[in-house]
């Protein structure tokens, strides 16, 4: 299962330079669309892969893992034009469907670690509102009408064994929100949790 998740992190690793002292690593379903659209509108520099290694502290916005998982599953079905039903949810549970929108946030930190070894500052995702008033999402450039995640859909998603998608984030990431820490310490804990 973890190998399939790691397969999602073969894309470019990007960090947005919001200001002289603010570098942000956007994670899918954690305001990434809003951050990248804002960066493009303001012509903010985006550093990729090896360019990231020389940056100062990097801020990473973390979302409640279960909330993010449910929202990510919903987004995945929307973008892939799939019906949210028991059969398709079972495919997520069994790792037949894997997607960057609901892979644990921890895996995106492993992706960043390929290119960056410095300090990170983890913040609650709601703090993005202070930076970017605009709320965009993956639906912004999609012709299919967007419908918000319903209570019924949340209940359906919670029927699968979702714990394996959220436990690592609850156990490792949540305790560092609001703190500055070496990325290597978090990565070591993530790898220990996966072994």
Q: Return the closest-CA partner of residue 55 out of 120, 8, 1.
A: 120
pLDDT of residue 178: 96
DSSP β-bridge partners for residue 124: 62
Question: pTM for the whole thing?
Answer: 0.91
pLDDT grade for 11, boundaries at 50, 70 and 90: confident
pLDDT digits (tens, 9 = 90+) for 113-163: 999 999 999 999 999 988 887 665 554 555 566 688 999 999 999 999 999
- C-alpha to C-alpha distance for 181 and 163, rounded to whole angstroms: 26
Tell me: pLDDT of 171 over 80.
yes
pLDDT digits (tens, 9 = 90+) for 27-77: 999 999 889 989 999 999 999 999 999 999 999 999 999 999 999 999 999
pLDDT grade for 82, boundaries at 50, 70 and 90: very high
Domain range holding 77?
2-194
- For residue 118, how many other CB atoms are within 10 A of its CB? 15
| E-assigned strand segments in 20-82 | 22-25, 46-48, 58-62
pLDDT digits (tens, 9 = 90+) for 18-29: 999 999 999 999
- Average pLDDT of 73-99? 93
């Amino acid at each position: 299962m973890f190998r399939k998740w790691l397969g999602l992190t073969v894309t470019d690793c990007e960090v947005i330079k919001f200001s002289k002292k603010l570098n942000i690593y956007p994670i899918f379903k954690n305001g990434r669309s809003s951050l990248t659209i804002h960066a493009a509108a303001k012509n903010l520099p985006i550093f990729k892969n090896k360019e990231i290694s020389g940056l100062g502290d990097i801020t990473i916005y973390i979302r409640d893992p279960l909330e993010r998982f449910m929202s990510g599953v919903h987004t995945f079905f929307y973008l892939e034009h799939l019906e949210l039903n028991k059969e398709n949810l079972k495919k997520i549970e069994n790792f037949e469907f894997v997607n960057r929108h609901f892979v644990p946030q921890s895996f995106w930190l492993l992706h960043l670690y390929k290119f960056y070894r410095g300090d990170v500052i983890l913040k609650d995702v709601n703090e993005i509102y202070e930076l970017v008033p605009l709320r965009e999402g993956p639906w912004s450039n999609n012709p299919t009408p967007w419908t918000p995640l319903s209570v019924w859909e949340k209940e359906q998603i919670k029927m699968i064994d979702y714990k394996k998608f959220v436990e690592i984030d609850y156990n490792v990431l949540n305790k560092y929100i609001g703190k500055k820490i070496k990325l290597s310490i978090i990565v070591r804990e993530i790898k220990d949790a996966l072994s």
